[in-house]
Amino acid sequence: MDSIRQQAIDYLTGSLSSEERVTFEYELKNSESTRNLLADLNDDWSSLALLSQPSSPDPDLRSRTLMLTQDPPDLEPFLGSDGVERLRQNYSKPASRYLGGDGTVDTSEVKDISLKDGIFRTYEHLLRLLPLVSGDSPAAFGDFSDLQKFVYDNLPLENELSKWTDPLLPGEDPVAQSLQRSLLASLPSLAHFTDLAGSGKIGLSEVRRIFYLCRDQLKIMRASFQDLDPQQLAEDELIRVHGTHLLRQKWSGARHSFFNQAGLASCGNFFEGPISERCVEFAEYDSNLYCLANLIANRSTAGGFQIELIKDSVPGCVLAIAHAEVDSKLDEELNAVASSNLSSLPAVLSKDACLWSLLQGSMRRGFPDHSVGELADASFFGKQRLEGETYLWFAWPEIENAHSGAVASTEKPGQ
């Protein structure tokens, strides 16, 4: 019995070799007394958890966790719509996945010197901000003083952002696209929350949100400007499979803001599995999701919007969808934005037009065998309204069999 007891302890502590483990598991299967012994030891072993320093999770985690029990929205009207049917008939996978690179430019191509300086200044600023909001920072444990001092001592991001984005017109050339992706995807929400930190209106959930946004913004900037942080960009280009759980953790219950118009995200139907193969591809995907969120969050009637990731409804592809109940007048705005008819677009919608243009550029990179017009006609991306609900979406090639390689987890940026 002593020998079995020792084996059970070794099993619990992960100290058996693979052969010994198989033998022990055979024993477990066939011996009730061994099962009882292990259950008993398991209880003792688990009681060691009580040695942990007592901590309480942020109340925000409770609401995010309990969202799991909510029934996801019924997407049948959307998935059965003409637009998705057109995609079903026309979808074809690209010959190869997006590997990064196509959407990147050198900062020397940015002619405006102050803007070029601003890119470097913002990137360095965010590199210094990141450790102040990471999960082991004082701010993550309720001491916001270092974070507040940093924000107070530095120029508010919202000021910088307004300076560069007013006015901003959609542009198809790679420099304009890289700039706009860096300025309009995750930066507006990040600027909003960091400025809240500077004014003292902050809690743990805002610090957490800043962490995720800062991490994404750094990655998007690196992918947009290849000379910004070449060493880290090389890391981002390695194979590292990213699962949908990373998007759920980030978006479930997340407060979001686009130039002071706030919204609350929730995750509806989310398949489990890989969604991108490299950090650069994930940055591309992230940027597209931010574009959809920025467009819909501002216009949601109730302030909330849903993000959905659907696989298998259209064979070979994953559909990313952002939707919300939207007033018909605001829905008309989105029609104008999606029509890309710039001459008829009021100036107030220029940023929204840039977001749509970013999505178009990304689709061209994701599906290089097609023109943007072809992709739009075949509903690879689009906008439609069904029963008072506005849907924005884009398709992305599914990952059938993930390559061997590292698996991204919480992915602290810069690591």
Partner 1 sequence: MPLIDTIHWENIRDRSPNSLAELYDGFAGAMFSLALEVLGDRWEAEEVIQDVFAYVWKKPESFSPAKGKFSSWLLVITRNRSIDRVRSRKRKVVSGEPIEVLSNRQDLGSKDGAEEASKSDERSFLRSAFKQLPEDQREVIELSYFKGLNHLEISEQLQLSLGTVKSRIRLGMEKLKRALSNLRS
Contact set with partner 1 (CB under 8 A): 5-6, 9-10, 13-15, 35, 38-58, 61-62, 64-66, 68-69, 134-136, 140-143, 203-204, 208, 211-212, 245, 248-249, 252, 407, 409-410
Residue 70: exposure state from Cβ atoms within 10 A (0-12, 13-18, ≥19): exposed
- For residue 105, give the 3-state DSSP assignment: strand
Phi-psi region of 253 (alpha: psi -120 to 50; beta: other; left: phi over 0): left
Nearer to partner 1 (CB atom), residue 97 or residue 248: 248
Nearer to partner 1 (CB atom), residue 77 or residue 138: 138
Residue 262 dihedral angles phi and psi, to the nearest 5°? -100, 155
Nearer to partner 1 (CB atom), residue 19 or residue 43: 43
* Residue 156 · residue 193 · CB < 8 Å: no
* Residue 120 · residue 221 · CB < 8 Å: no
Nearer to partner 1 (CB atom), residue 9 or residue 168: 9
- In angstroms, give the least distance from the CB of 279 to partner 1: 15
Beta bridge partners of 320: 309, 394
- In angstroms, give the least distance from the CB of 142 to partner 1: 3
- In angstroms, give the least distance from the CB of 54 to partner 1: 4
Going by their DSSP bridges, the two strands 261-270 and 304-311 should be labelled as: parallel
- In angstroms, give the least distance from the CB of 336 to partner 1: 38
- In angstroms, give the least distance from the CB of 207 to partner 1: 9
- In angstroms, give the least distance from the CB of 18 to partner 1: 12
* Residue 184 · residue 230 · CB < 8 Å: no
- For residue 150, give the 3-state DSSP assignment: helix
**DSSP for 380-408, written as a single string:** SEEEEEETTEEEEEEEEE--SSPPSSEE-
Nearer to partner 1 (CB atom), residue 54 or residue 373: 54
Nearer to partner 1 (CB atom), residue 45 or residue 259: 45
- In angstroms, give the least distance from the CB of 304 to partner 1: 19
Rounded to 5°, the CA angle 401-267-213 comes to: 85
Nearer to partner 1 (CB atom), residue 39 or residue 302: 39
Structure tokens at 214: 């800062």
